[in-house]
Amino acid sequence: MVADIIDITRALTTDPENRVPHLAFQPDELSDLPVLDMEQVETAYYLRLTVMDKPGVLAQITGIMGEAGISIEALKQQEPEPGETSASLVMLTHRVQEGQMNKAIRAIEEMDSIQGSVARIRVEYLD
Taking the domain 38-123, which CATH number applies? 3.30.70.260
List, as one string, the DSSP characters of 33-99.
Answer: PPPPPGGG-EEEEEEEEEEE-STTHHHHHHHHHHHTT--EEEEEEPPPPTT--EEEEEEEE-SEEHH
Could you tell me which residues come within 8 angstroms of residue 26 by beta carbon, excluding any fewer than 6 positions away?
Answer: none
Which of 22-31, 50-59, 82-91, 101-110 shows the lowest per-residue confidence on average (mean pLDDT)? 22-31
Which pTM does this prediction carry? 0.70
Per-domain residue ranges for the chain? 38-123
What is the distance in angstroms between the CA of the first residue and the CA of the last residue of the chain? 41
Span 116-126, average pLDDT: 91
pLDDT in tens, 86-106: 999 999 999 999 999 999 999
